[in-house]
Structure 1
Amino acid sequence: MSKSNLSFIILLAVGYAFWKWLDYLALPNTFTILLILLTVLCGVLWCYHRFVVLPKRTRQVIRQEQRTGKTLTNEEKLQIEPISETSEMLSSLFPVLAFVLILRSFLFEPFQIPSGSMEPTLRVGDFLLVEKYAYGIKDPVFQNTIIETGKPQRGDVVVFKAPKEPNIDYIKRVVGIPGDRVFYNEATRQLTLVYNKEGKPCNYSCDVKHFSYSDPKEDDNFGIIIGQERDGSPIYSDEKPLVLTETGDVEHLIHWDPQIPNATYMYQAYANQENYVTEWVVPEGNYFMMGDNRNHSSDSRFWGFVPEKNIVGRAAYIWLSLDKKQGQWPTGIRTERLFTTIK
């Protein structure tokens, strides 16, 4: 085994061990940190080769050709100030890594739908593009806003770091923005919003939005997961979810279970709860999120509000959709969902 191959294997082993260590720390941006470090390493090598080794090689080639009176072949030139294969390969990756880092950190980030919490709007097997710049240009590690470009709006579908598990990305719909009072009736499954006044909770002469709903119908394209097999594959109920249109700040489809559950005892961070109606007052700098699959979504009703700093970006487009169910292999491609806008 050559030295270059051995060096490359050692580098991969060190990188993998570092990756697992970062995963163990449960940091919110493990992949980004690794990408930055690798880009810096490759960038240092690229600069060293470009501005030190290659000029030095050129000078020595000129001297050698003047001394011998003949033109050196490309093979002979490479023997002067030689560069190891590993070092050359890493430096050649720098332009690609730098492009990917800038694209992923400030413009677009890919995201895959892992569960059915946003059905029927988003399906398991959908691959999305998330607009990172929609709510501000942020530094890629600490997520501090560098340039303000906008704020999440009611009805936006956003990707964010889960408040209690910042190393995991969630995707939900924004229901309430700072200062809004959110009311959810568990018995009727209806939403009501009391809009904020200048970012503060409103208590008089308020604008109130009562969400409206179409007649629910069975959705034969989906199933209701009621458990898991020992191998992790989902167990589906014989019933089908109900699909209906919810009209609030935006109009979109949602799912309800045929049977109305009572999950109010699990709701957290609420201001008031009475007769199945729960009220939340969204704090400053936070947002209230809900999944479109209302009876199968872990969202702000259960674990509270999402700080603005946790928001990754707005889910904008579906660029690929594999025909699959949760825990199963794909069986095809949903061509009708390719390159569609998320609403």
Structure 2
Amino acid sequence: MAGYFSIFLVLLTLGSGLIWLIDHFMYAPKRQQRIALAQNAAGGELDEETAALIAPEPSITETAKSIFPMIAAITIFRSFIFEPFQIPSGSMMPTLLVGDFILVQKYSYGIKDPIWRSQLVDVDEPERGDIVVFKYPLDERVDYIKRTIGLPGDKIVYRNKHLYIQPKCAEGETQQGDLLCNEYNKIDMEILNSDEFKQGSMNLVRLEENLSTLNHNILINPQAPEMKGRYYQQPGTRSDEWVVPADHYFMMGDNRDNSQDSRFWGFVPKENLVGKAVFIWMSFEFENGPDDFLPGWVPTGVRFERLGNIQ
């Protein structure tokens, strides 16, 4: 849907701008000539109402001229600067909750054209720990949001609900941040609480995970079995190990036992990146149940404390 809306905005911008240009160079001069002839016949200036009756401006031209500046500004802002997204699921809890409305910085990883998404300008690469919106590799009509765990060349292991990373290091490099080169680093986790979030009747454990670039919170369901049988099987590796190819990224949700991510469908190509999630600009609560008068999609409150930068 977001892709179709981008195409609609671009077509509306081009269409209204083209109508404005054609009128400006072809039809507006002819209208001015008719008004000038009428002024000469009348022997003086005509008021605006009379001039409009003699040489009326077509309604489609008037509409195009009025909407073009606004639509062009929206298209540029949304295509190249920031785009709003709504969080539809709990796969990024506790960092992002259902009902959060976020801004995604579109130029973080390069400037792309809004229709074909071909790279126009290279800007930067994702860093480990970035929360990224991207086109789902198995269906690029769908936008996903996950955290960047593995960079090109990294070796990733997810085993017994623990994350291990062997970073790709340059020649002669012995350490990358807090991660040691040439060995799997077990990512440190510290339990924060186990009574704040639930999945059905089961308590989820909230932990702080240290990716060496930043600390962030994750959720683990201790009672949920690991679904290794459903993991993406990369040729030449074990079922819970992956080597990130060049120009690809390994993404995971913060809600580790409730996230369909790179563990299950593989890697995200660089060209699928949409942008970096940077800000929560609104956060609604949705607590209406099946027995309530109002439908479930109607907000029941605003979580003002959640507004601000995303980490």
Do they superpose with TM above 0.5?
yes
Residue identity (%): 42
Give the drift of 1:205: 5.7
Q: Quote the residue 1:209 is aligned against.
A: 185
Which of 207, 223, 239 aligns to 2:198? It is: 223
Whether 2:46 is the aligned partner of 1:72: answer yes
Give the drift of 1:51: 3.1
**Structure 2 CA distance for partners of 1:145 and 1:243, relative to 1, 3 Å:** same
Whether 2:271 is the aligned partner of 1:309: answer yes
Provide the rounded CA distance (Å) in 1 between the counterparts of 2:181 and 2:36. Answer: 84
Q: Give secondary structure in 1 for the equivalent of 2:168.
A: coil
Q: Quote the residue 2:211 is aligned against.
A: 248
Provide the rounded CA distance (Å) in 2 between the counterparts of 1:115 and 1:136. Answer: 27
Q: Quote the residue 2:259 is aligned against.
A: 297
Give the drift of 1:223: 3.2
Q: Give secondary structure in 1 for the equivalent of 2:275.
A: strand
Aligned pairs for 1:109-188 within 5 A: 109-185=83-159, 187=160
Q: Give secondary structure in 2 for the equivalent of 1:272.
A: coil
Provide the rounded CA distance (Å) in 1 between the counterparts of 2:310 and 2:40. Answer: 66
Q: Does structure 2 retain, via aligned residues, the 8 Å contact 1:324–1:330?
A: yes
Q: Give secondary structure in 2 for the equivalent of 1:240.
A: strand
Deviation track 1:191-227 (CA, whole Å, cap 9, x = no partner) reads 111011349xx9x96264321111252243x431xxx
CA RMSD of aligned residues (A): 2.2
Deviation track 1:98-132 (CA, whole Å, cap 9, x = no partner) reads 11111111111111100000000001111111111
Provide the rounded CA distance (Å) in 2 between the counterparts of 1:267 and 1:330. Answer: 36
Q: Give secondary structure in 1 for the equivalent of 2:66.
A: helix
Q: Quote the residue 2:166 is aligned against.
A: 194
Deviation track 1:24-77 (CA, whole Å, cap 9, x = no partner) reads xxxx82221121111111111111233333333223222211221133221111
Whether 2:237 is the aligned partner of 1:272: answer yes
Q: Does structure 1 retain, via aligned residues, the 8 Å contact 2:23–2:61?
A: no
**Structure 2 CA distance for partners of 1:148 and 1:52, relative to 1, 3 Å:** same
Whether 2:306 is the aligned partner of 1:331: answer no
One-letter code aligned to 1:63? L
Provide the rounded CA distance (Å) in 2 between the counterparts of 1:312 and 1:267. Answer: 25
Which of 26, 33, 51 aligns to 1:52? It is: 26
Q: Does structure 2 retain, via aligned residues, the 8 Å contact 1:158–1:174?
A: yes
Q: Quote the residue 2:246 is aligned against.
A: 284
Q: Give secondary structure in 1 for the equivalent of 2:120.
A: strand
Q: Does structure 2 retain, via aligned residues, the 8 Å contact 1:57–1:81?
A: yes
- The two structures have a TM-score, normalised by structure 2, of 0.88
Provide the rounded CA distance (Å) in 1 between the counterparts of 2:233 and 2:251. Answer: 13
User: Which one is further off, 248-257 or 294-303?
Assistant: 248-257
Provide the rounded CA distance (Å) in 1 between the counterparts of 2:203 and 2:225. Answer: 15
Q: Does structure 2 retain, via aligned residues, the 8 Å contact 1:53–1:81?
A: no
Provide the rounded CA distance (Å) in 2 between the counterparts of 1:289 and 1:205. Answer: 21
Give the drift of 1:328: 4.3
Whether 2:255 is the aligned partner of 1:263: answer no
Deviation track 1:148-168 (CA, whole Å, cap 9, x = no partner) reads 110011100000000011001
Which of 234, 238, 243 aligns to 2:201? It is: 238
- The two structures have a TM-score, normalised by structure 1, of 0.80
Q: Does structure 2 retain, via aligned residues, the 8 Å contact 1:219–1:242?
A: yes
Provide the rounded CA distance (Å) in 1 between the counterparts of 2:56 and 2:195. Answer: 66
* Number of aligned residues: 295
Whether 2:12 is the aligned partner of 1:42: answer no
Give the drift of 1:288: 0.3
Unaligned runs of 5+ in 1: 1-22, 225-236
One-letter code aligned to 1:330? P
Provide the rounded CA distance (Å) in 1 between the counterparts of 2:304 and 2:86. Answer: 17
